[in-house]
A and B are shown apart, each in its own frame.
Chain A
Amino acid sequence: AQSVTQLDSHVSVSEGTPVLLRCNYSSSYSPSLFWYVQHPNKGLQLLLKYTSAATLVKGINGFEAEFKKSETSFHLTKPSAHMSDAAEYFCVVSDLGSGNTGKLIFGQGTTLQVKP
């Protein structure tokens, strides 16, 4: 079965410093992985997705993630945090595979706090 584990429930950074949100995955086949962001009282927005093309994936708003099969990781990074990045971030794996529908399996989420 597919699963993701977000290693930090809460991350706090200062504005202008790098962001690292950690995610490990478990999958019995080549996974499709995503990062979604959820701002308060707003819907989930896709930041980026990995679907077995390039291992370094660039997303919106300066975020990127690197797929590392040997480490079963898909960490999200950004070189310089902005106040508007404060939100809840979800690492997500798809169950797409033989006989499955592509439903998404979410991690527990990481709350990113950005201090001025």
Chain B
Amino acid sequence: GAGVSQSPRYKVAKRGQDVALRCDPISGHVSLFWYQQALGQGPEFLTYFQNEAQLDKSGLPSDRFFAERPEGSVSTLKIQRTQQEDSAVYLCASSLPSLRGVLQETQYFGPGTRLLVL
């Protein structure tokens, strides 16, 4: 079946511009995660949704970052007033819900959106 898809694949923004990154998870996956991967680094957690509820946003680096998943399916990560340090690959992953303390479900990753802020 179809995997996780993300769009756009590449985005070039001028400093100060707002951007919106889209994630389409695997159908039926209630858990959705966003990660940020800087050049040469491992991905770092940004935020987590279970259905439409944003249960963890502890990784969002500033209040310029905002994520939503209004209908519990597609998610959008928005970055306002982009800065050069926002340049990174933004990864989305989806999974079935993990049973806390018991079972860790596999997260399936999309291809990412490469954001370059000039």
Contact = CB atoms under 8 A, between A and B. Distances in A.
Interface residues of A, number: 26
A57 B21 CA distance: 35
Contacts, number: 70
Interface SS, A side = loop
Contact of B104 (A32, A43, A45, A99): A32
A29 B107 CA distance: 20
Interface stretch (A12-20, A65-73, A76-84, A89-97): A89-97
A104 interface: yes
Contacts of B105: 102
Contact of B91 (A44, A97, A99, A109): A44
Interface of B: 4, 31, 33, 35, 40-45, 48, 50, 55-56, 59, 91, 93, 95, 98, 100-101, 103-112
Interface of A: 29, 32, 36, 42-46, 49, 51, 90, 94, 96-109
